[in-house]
A and B are shown apart, each in its own frame.
Chain A
Amino acid sequence: MLHQLVEILADGFVIGAIFALGAAGFTMIFGVSGVLNLAHGSIMVIAALVAWFCAEHTPLGIYGGALVGIAASVASTYLLYGLVIRPLNHSKRIADNERPVFVLTATLLVAIILQGVLDYAFGSSPITTPTLIDGVWRVAGVTIPYSQILIGVIAWLVLGALWYFVTRTRPGKAMLAASMSTTGLALVGYDIRKVQRQVWGLYGLLAGIAGVLLASFTGASSDIAISLTVNAFIIVVLGGLGNVAGSLGAAYIIGFLGTLTAYLISPAIREVPGLLALVLILYIRPQGLFGRH
């Protein structure tokens, strides 16, 4: 019983941190660009699969592969923004009130395109990248791999860096301000386009790191893209849209809920409690558990 509890705690700790990373980018994009990116999971999977491919089939090794994977993710978010989101936002043939629908549909199409391409390039069978470091830690009768601890630590370091960036540095503060009011930011002399570009880049970075860590922890495949997207959405809604700190709390709730379900009932319905929580929240408290208003 105790060792199961420790396992659940250890798994939930890592998975929660990875979810929080992915969701943080997802919610920033929504805050600054107003885009709910349905290709979010696909971007994470791109990073995961590219990292796996480089680690297994090139001499780069796992660390080099991870960097290439993250770079691939950043490149995809830039392309997504430059080739799809920005043109749609500026198209004169689409009425303003229909714009969000078009953007949403476009990201869904991008998700399908990426899924097809990834299936074609890497196959659809699940992959797991080699472990970051070897060795296990024995505690209370359970063995926890060092690499799992390292994944959790990396995720938390990146979250800490994100917090520092957004609250303590100039470009980070500009992004935070943009998520509150783009007009206000433009009025005080910021180039909104530049801020937008930076946010998409940062988003690619966060989603990429999350994807690579996920590939190393639970494994990844092109099939999980949609459920990763839905997962990020659940977390973001639970935490309040645009609220990065709220996402962190929500990521842990969802992470532990999923892990508990997987351990105690069945891994097959891991996501179901989260989905039900989402529906409940949307009915009862649409602004999220930690929402501002």
Chain B
Amino acid sequence: MQLKHLIHWRSTLVLLALIVLILMPLGASGYVLGVLTVAFYLAVYAMSWDLLFGYAGEVNFGPTFLVGLGAYGAGLSNSVFSIPVWPSVAIGTFLALVGGLVLAGPALRLRGPYFGLVTLVAVILLEKMIGLFSSYTGGEIGLTIMDVLTISNVGNFYYALGFMVIAAIALRTVARSSIGLILEASGQDPVATEALGFNVTKYKLFAFALSALFSGMAGALMVFYLGSASPGTVVTVFVTIQIIIATIVGGRRTILGPILGAIFLIVAGEVLRPLGQLSNAVVALIALLLLLFAPNGFAGLFARSGGRA
């Protein structure tokens, strides 16, 4: 009874927050909308990462490998091959999907930290490749893209919000279904899960594919929002850190928590901007303190009494 009550109360809150976001363009300035647009894309990266980390227990340090493939796949299609926006997004997403399956290979063979470092290597290799082919990719400075989704702030805001809501519904549905439970079980004890007759390989591949699909598409869309793709915005380890922080700060294994985390992180980044190069370190410090003192994040603070019955 109590649990039901709590779930009810929480979904009302989520609905309320969504309504506030939908009405946002009525009152907020273009600057606020722009900040939130970026936060929404980061939220999709973080939610996709949460599916792998929170549920499947995979320490994927290469979310930006997937995001970067999506972003650069779409960006290069558009700027080098002059392919229109939406087909470019599709190409980027497809590349990320392939990348997700490539990452899933080692994930099925390696456990924990080993896998984590392989994914880190994947990111570094991608970064090196971007540097090596700088005549096409623009190297460190980045790729400039001619086309955009729309030039309107409000339009971009709604594209990002709509995409985030779709991703949240899809990922939450999967995570809440038996697939989520089996992923969680295989994260905790793959042998026992296999012994119960579940095909762990199949479920993990599915999780990687889904995670890659959304992070790749978000990367591709973000490129057409920013009008550029650079290692600093979609590939480097610092982006990975942002994704991890957003997820843990928001509350892992909740899918919705990472949205809170992403908005918190981007807004904190704007507030701390005067600190210059130290701002990254301060954000990382806040995350470290949360990791030490509130490992369940914001969502954990809400859900404490409800628990996972």
Chain A interfacial positions (CB closer than 8 Å to B): 36, 84, 87-88, 91, 93-94, 97-98, 100-102, 104-106, 108-110, 112-117, 119-120, 226-227, 230, 233, 237, 268-269, 271-272, 275, 278-279, 282-283, 286
Q: For residues 214 through 262 of chain B, which have their beta carbon under 8 Å from a beta carbon of chain A?
A: 237-238, 241, 244-245, 248
| Bound Cα distance from A61 to B128, whole angstroms | 37
- B interface residues with partner A (beta carbon < 8 Å): 53, 57, 59, 61, 105-106, 109-110, 112-114, 116-118, 120-121, 124-125, 128, 131-132, 187-188, 237-238, 241, 244-245, 248, 277-282, 284-285, 287-288, 291-292, 295-296
Q: Is the interface of B mostly helix, strand, loop or mixed?
A: helix
Partner of A116, one of B125, B132, B281: B281
| Cα distance, A10 to B53, chains bound together (Å) | 45
Q: Is the CB of A275 within 8 A of B125?
A: yes
Please give me the residue from chain B that is nearest to A274 by CB atom. Answer: B121
Bound CA span A283–B118, Å: 10
CB-based nearest A residue for B128: A272
Q: What are 14 A-B pairs at a CB distance below 8 A?
A: A36-B117, A84-B288, A84-B292, A93-B295, A94-B295, A97-B188, A102-B291, A105-B59, A109-B285, A112-B280, A113-B288, A230-B124, A268-B132, A275-B124
Q: Roughly how many angstroms separate A271 CA and B120 CA in the complex, as a whole number? A: 14
Of B116, B118, B120, B128, which one neighbours A269 at CB under 8 angstroms?
B128
B190 to chain A, nearest CB (A): 11
Residue contact B125 to A272, C-beta cutoff 8 Å: yes
Complex CA–CA separation, A104 to B120 (angstroms): 12
CA distance A227 to B120 in the complex (A): 10
| Neighbouring A residues of B120 by C-beta, 8 Å | 230
Tally the A-B contacts, defined by beta carbons under 8 Å. 113
Shortest B53–chain A CB gap in Å is 7
Looking at the complex, which one of B124, B241, B277, B296 makes contact with A108 (CB distance below 8 Å)? Answer: B241
Question: A105 and B292: CB pair below 8 A?
Answer: no
Q: How far is the CA of A233 from the CA of B124 in the complex (A)?
A: 13
In-complex Cβ contact of B295 among A84, A91, A237, A269 (8 A): A91
Q: Are B288 and A110 in contact (CB under 8 A)?
A: yes
Closest 8 interchain pairs by CB?
A116-B281, A112-B284, A36-B113, A109-B288, A109-B284, A113-B284, A113-B281, A116-B280
Report how far A113 CA is from B59 CA in the complex, Å.
Answer: 20
A42 to chain B, nearest CB (A): 11
B115 CB to nearest A CB, Å: 9
